[in-house]
Amino acid sequence: MGSSRKTEIFVGAFVLLALLAFFVLAMNISNLGSLGSDKGYTVNAQFDNVGGLQPRAKVTLSGVSVGRVTGISYDKETFRAVVTMTINGGVDYLPSDTQASIYTSGLLGEQYISLEPGAEDEVLAEGSAVTLTQSAVVLEEIIGKLLVSFTTKD
Amino acid sequence: MSDFFVTIRDLYFSRGDREIFSGVSLDIPEGKVTAIMGPSGTGKTTLLRLMGGQLRPDRGSVIVQGLEIPSLKRKALYQARRRMGMLFQSGALLTDLSVFENIAFPIREHYSFPESIIRDIVLLKLELVGLRGARDLMPSELSGGMARRVALARAIVLDPTLMMYDEPFTGLDPVTLGTIVSLIKELNCSLGMTSVVVSHDIHETFSIADHVCILSEGKLAAQGSPEELMNSESEFVQQFVQGKPDGPIPFHFPAEPLEQDILGKDMSGKSAL
Amino acid sequence: MILNFLQSIGAYVLDAFASLGRASLFLMQVLMGIKDVLLRPRLLIRELYSVGVLSLLIIVFSAIFVGMVLSLLGYVTLVDFGAESSLGVLVSLSLIRELGPVLSALLFSGRAGSALTAEIGLMKATEQLASMEMMAVDPIRRIVTPRFLAGFISLPLLTIIFMALGIYAGYLVGSVWLGVDEGSYWSQMQNKVEFWHDVVNGIIKSVVFGFVVTWIAVYQGYNAMPTSEGVSRATTNSVVYSALAVLGLDFILTAIMFI
């Protein structure tokens, strides 16, 4: 039975190696480790223009990632874009007058949402709406404004 | 009916377009050695496969020990096979198991005996075929004759009541041939099995068979004891028994006349092109 | 002319459906034996060794080299845009979503699938399967089912190892050799790679591939012509059909999962 024992040891090592690799994939490589099991809470924000913002873009607080965009839709009542985002459960101290802005990381990088805390005592919770928003900067608009200011100077 | 161990009635079987059996009926008596003979390609091995339920006939019945083999459900068929043993032409030993494990294989698959009992059974069967000393060899280390003896030991390890031999005499040296011939005879007597031997070696087969059936062209051509067949007046039986090149069994595979084949279309006046 | 052409297409299609039907019936018989195999785990462990452990070497080597090449090429491209900090994302997403499952499956069909086909085909050619039947042992349950299960289990495990190793090899080339910042390699990766969306979908791909590749391998072996030529043809077919099936299914799965 010596050879069968060797076989069993090898198979055991093989399965263990795969489990270890799976653990690494889950914890070190993907975001399962950072987002973890805490579900967080969902808030909405309305923007005039979301530009190139994509679902799963990150939501940051002074550059620290605290959540993710989960959905982007259009509200036909207000004619504005609605961005749904999930904030980590641990970050439960955001004042209700927090401002949300859409920024671009780097010149050509992806767009993300940056939150700037306000001063109210009341805090954001599940289902709250962020009312103070700043839309994405669209390159064409900037160029257009620049051109207008150049022409008016003349 | 009850005198016969295997009864085959009106058997039809074809493979593709080729008809192999067209209405074969034969009986195999219990406790005797029955030989099934015939020219190559008459479906002797196919007959064994039909008896073992590995093939299903188009029509007709195959009754082994009172069981209608072709109509058995999977489970019943496997149950019936436990009482059958088959010696394959190539031996068909499992190449990744040693001689000992090959013979222990059927026991381990069907029963959960303690190791000591398995060892005893296997060594007894190996002793019977004279290879107790070869138990640790792998099948690749065996000669053709030894492999066939090991396969024989494996086929009888579950003490079958019906033992089938597929061409047991082909490709053996004279000494091994003698051993196998006497083993088949001995096993039949000492274990009280019914044996069916498929072969076309007249001499060896006639020396051990109690009953011989000769198949030809999908039918049973003749049957009887070896003596009866030796003295048969049938031209076909005489040709087969004495091995004459031409006679009722044609030397040529059926074809149109030679001159027609060679000159072909020219004869009918049309160009081949 | 046209009718002949139509006829040959029709015959081909009918033929394809007939063999698909036969292969499905065969699969049913194989799956019926799973209970028996689970009652005798020793059979499964032996096959896990010859199918899984013996494929490990080629998987490890390929993973390391693919990871390194990916990192090298990715760096050369990204550095032009000043985006080399995204190297980790590029390497990990390529490996997890696409290269890990597909390359593992192709290598696996070459290493283990062909061996399964040849082994079963040879057992058929040497009458070992027929003799087992006569010993009242069902060769499908005893021989085919354990091998099928072992293949089905092994490929996802090998794929997971492939992904993790490839990403580490990419890290070695990217950070240690080419000097991409270690922190941004890992943190960008962690930000971008979603566990459920990327990792789990990649593993689902490999589960599907494992099922199909082993199914093709054991079916080709069991239905090989019992001659040496038949076995060698079945082995070739096994690898070719597996590769085609993996690539075709990969496209479909990618379209479903990542669009």
Separation in Å, CA of B50 to nearest CA in chain C: 11
Decide if B95 and C128 are in contact by the 8 Å CB cutoff: yes
Residues 6+ apart with CB under 8 A from C184: C85, C88
Element (DSSP H or E) covering residue B273: none
Q: How far apart are CA C114 and CA C58, in angstroms?
A: 14
Q: Residue B33 maps to which CATH number?
A: 3.40.50.300
Separation in Å, CA of B182 to nearest CA in chain C: 23
Decide if B54 and C135 are in contact by the 8 Å CB cutoff: no
Q: Is B201 inside any structural domain?
A: yes
Closest among C162, C62, C158, C60 to A14, alpha carbons compared? C158
Q: Is B44 inside any structural domain?
A: yes
Q: Which domain holds residue B7?
A: 1-81+195-248
H helical segments located in chain A: 2-24, 32-35, 139-153
What are B74-80's contacts with CB under 8 Å, separation 24+? B77/B53, B78/C136, B78/C138, B79/C136, B80/B53
Alpha-carbon distances of B211 from B32, B63, B206, B207, B234, rounded to whole Å: 8, 18, 9, 11, 17
Q: Is A136 within 8 Å of A142 (Cβ atoms)?
A: no
pLDDT for residue A130? 87
Separation in Å, CA of A40 to nearest CA in chain C: 16
Q: How far apart are CA A82 and CA A48, in angstroms?
A: 9
Nearest to C164 among A21, A33, A108 (CB): A21
pLDDT > 80? residue B269? no
pLDDT for residue B1? 43
Nearest CA in chain A to C154: A15
Decide if C137 and B109 are in contact by the 8 Å CB cutoff: yes
Separation in Å, CA of A150 to nearest CA in chain C: 30
Q: Is B29 inside any structural domain?
A: yes
Closest among B120, B99, B60, A15 to C53, alpha carbons compared? A15
Q: For every residue of B156-213, which 3-state class applies, written as one string?
A: CCCCCCEEEEECCCCCCCHHHHHHHHHHHHHHHHHHCCEEEEECCCHHHHHHHCCEEE
pLDDT for residue B272? 46
Alpha-carbon distances of B43 from B37, B60, C182, rounded to whole Å: 10, 16, 74
pLDDT in tens, A9-24: 999 999 999 999 999 8
Decide if A29 and C42 are in contact by the 8 Å CB cutoff: no
Q: Is B30 inside any structural domain?
A: yes
One-letter amino acid of C201: N
Q: Is B188 inside any structural domain?
A: no
Work out the average pLDDT over A56-60.
83
- Report yes or no on chains A and C touching (3+ CB pairs under 8 A): yes
Q: Is A28 within 8 Å of C96 (Cβ atoms)?
A: no
pLDDT in tens, B230-258: 888 788 888 887 777 767 666 777 777 78
- Domain ranges within chain C, ordered by starting residue: 43-258
ipTM: 0.88
Q: Is B187 inside any structural domain?
A: no
Separation in Å, CA of C50 to nearest CA in chain A: 9
How many angstroms from the chain centroid is the CA of residue B109? Answer: 24
Number of domains within chain B:
1
Interchain CB contact of B92 with C (< 8 Å):
yes
- Report yes or no on chains A and B touching (3+ CB pairs under 8 A): no
pLDDT for residue C168? 94
pLDDT > 50? residue C211? yes
- Report yes or no on chains B and C touching (3+ CB pairs under 8 A): yes
One-letter amino acid of A126: E
pLDDT in tens, B206-224: 888 888 988 888 888 888 8
Q: A60: helix, coil or strand?
A: strand
Closest among B205, B188, B118, B117 to B152, alpha carbons compared? B188
Nearest to B82 among C127, C131, C136 (CB): C136
For CA atoms C156, C157, C159, C163, give the dihedral sign: positive
H helical segments located in chain C: 2-32, 34-39, 41-51, 56-79, 87-93, 100-108, 114-125, 128-134, 139, 145-171, 182-192, 201-222, 228-258
Q: Is B166 inside any structural domain?
A: no
Q: Is C230 within 8 Å of C238 (Cβ atoms)?
A: no
Q: Is B80 within 8 Å of B65 (Cβ atoms)?
A: yes
pLDDT for residue A34? 55
Q: Is A32 within 8 Å of C192 (Cβ atoms)?
A: no
Interchain CB contact of B111 with C (< 8 Å):
no
pLDDT in tens, C82-116: 888 889 999 999 999 999 999 999 999 999 999 99
